[in-house]
């Protein structure tokens, strides 16, 4: 991999010219900066001398973590010991020439290093600092340790993933670090907003953004808080269905696959009933509106499941696609990687990684006119410290 100067970034990318320092480990902060880097920001990932601990997670090729190919893509990697005087000096030197910084240490850790917001604003008053933690920078739980699972648990999500009426098995996690990823997205959004404000005001000081795992998950709880406040309602696990729309559920197929069907508008419901050979149900007054269908959803679900059980997932999906009924098989990663829509839109692309060889990458989750998805993956996750000499030339030593 050739070392790329930030000046070589395609100006078509909207954040080209924005320099962001990442003091991130594991998931939340690195996910935030991955989004910013995909958008063209110059992200300088500061790792400890032994590298980000996530480099030791999951599968590897000759000691190089496969996940890091995506986790660290489009970033420049430098290694610093932030406990040492030289490491602190170099970080301050870097902060003086940067627009923003993202970190996910436990609250107070940067201050103990002498690198808290007050210290960094001494060298760059306009620096935007996004801080991601488990519970936030204040409050009674501030100093408690947390990982992504804790965000799911306390934010209200894990309660909802249980199977209704089942108590012998714990509610499952969603399978990815959703609270870290959410916090990373919110941090990236807040950082861009703060940078916009600072850019527009020559007298502005850099803002400090406080994002935490728990509140990031809690923000997804839709109308549940006002419902509790007004009526004392506590939403309970609902499995694959929801109480406010019908029929919307996941149904078993003859080949062991599951088919998700969302037939909850009146017009779509009628098309669904015709497609599964139940035209009388389409005209049944008990199912005339969504509210009535919710009251009689058990009968509807039994009717749909009886039909899906007689067909493979692909067969049932094709029939409902032809009837313009929203549906999808539950995809595993093989399905995603091989799906023609994913491939046509470059949602799945093969890139060359100098550390791994040809490897599949997911596209950035946004599109811009004039920029192809492949343009947004400029390079894959580099080796730890690959850009030390680029970012810290010897003549600039503190």
In this structure, are residues 54 and 68 in contact, taking their beta carbons and an 8 Å threshold?
Answer: yes
**Residue in this structure with the two tokens 């993956």, named with its chain if needed:** 377
Cite the beta strand spans of the chain per DSSP E: 19-23, 42-47, 60-61, 64-65, 75-79, 100-103, 128-133, 208-212, 248-252, 258-262, 327-329, 348-353, 357-362
C-alpha 102/C-alpha 208 separation (Å) is 10
Long-range contacts of 354-362 (CB under 8 A, 24+ apart): 354/1, 354/380, 355/61, 355/62, 355/64, 355/69, 355/380, 355/381, 355/382, 355/383, 356/61, 356/64, 356/66, 356/69, 356/380, 357/61, 359/66, 359/69, 361/69, 361/70, 361/73, 362/70
Q: Which of 38, 52, 99, 180 is catalytic?
A: 180
352 catalytic? Reply is no
C-alpha 362/C-alpha 350 separation (Å) is 9
Please identify every residue annotated as catalytic: 180
């Amino acid at each position: 991999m050739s070392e790329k100067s930030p000046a070589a970034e395609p100006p078509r990318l909207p954040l080209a010219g924005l320099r962001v320092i990442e003091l991130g480990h594991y998931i939340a902060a690195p996910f935030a900066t991955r989004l910013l880097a995909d958008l063209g920001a110059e992200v300088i990932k500061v790792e400890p001398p032994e590298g980000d601990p996530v480099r030791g997670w999951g599968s590897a090729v000759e000691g190089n973590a496969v996940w890091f190919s995506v986790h660290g893509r489009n970033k420049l990697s430098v290694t610093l010991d932030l406990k040492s005087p030289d490491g602190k000096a170099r970080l301050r030197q870097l902060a003086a020439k940067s627009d923003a910084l993202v970190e996910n240490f436990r609250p107070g850790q940067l201050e103990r290093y002498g690198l808290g917001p007050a210290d960094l604003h001494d060298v760059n008053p306009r620096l935007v600092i996004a801080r991601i933690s488990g519970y936030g920078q204040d409050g009674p739980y501030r100093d408690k340790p947390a990982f992504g699972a804790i965000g799911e648990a306390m934010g209200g999500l894990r309660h909802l993933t249980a199977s209704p009426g089942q108590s012998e098995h714990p509610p499952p996690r969603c399978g990815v670090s959703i609270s870290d990823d959410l916090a990373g997205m919110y941090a990236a959004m807040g950082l861009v907003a703060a940078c916009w404000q600072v850019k527009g005001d020559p007298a502005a000081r850099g803002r400090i953004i406080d994002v935490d795992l728990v509140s990031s998950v809690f923000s997804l709880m839709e109308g549940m808080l006002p419902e509790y406040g007004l009526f004392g309602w506590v939403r309970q696990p609902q499995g694959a269905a929801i109480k406010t729309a019908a029929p919307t559920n996941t149904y078993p197929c003859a080949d062991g696959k599951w088919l998700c069907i969302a037939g909850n508008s009146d017009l779509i419901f009628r098309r669904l009933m015709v497609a599964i050979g139940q035209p009388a149900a389409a005209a049944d007054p008990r199912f005339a509106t969504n509210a009535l269908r919710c009251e009689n959803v058990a009968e509807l679900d039994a009717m749909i499941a009886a039909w899906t059980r007689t067909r493979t997932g692909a067969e049932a999906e094709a029939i409902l696609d032809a009837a313009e009924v929203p549906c999808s098989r539950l995809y595993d990663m093989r399905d995603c990687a091989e799906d023609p829509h994913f491939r046509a839109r470059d949602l799945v692309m093969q890139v060359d990684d100098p550390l791994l060889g040809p490897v599949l990458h997911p596209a950035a989750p946004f599109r811009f006119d004039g920029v192809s998805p492949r343009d947004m993956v400029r390079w894959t996750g580099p080796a730890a410290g690959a850009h030390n000499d680029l970012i810290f030339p010897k003549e600039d030593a503190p």
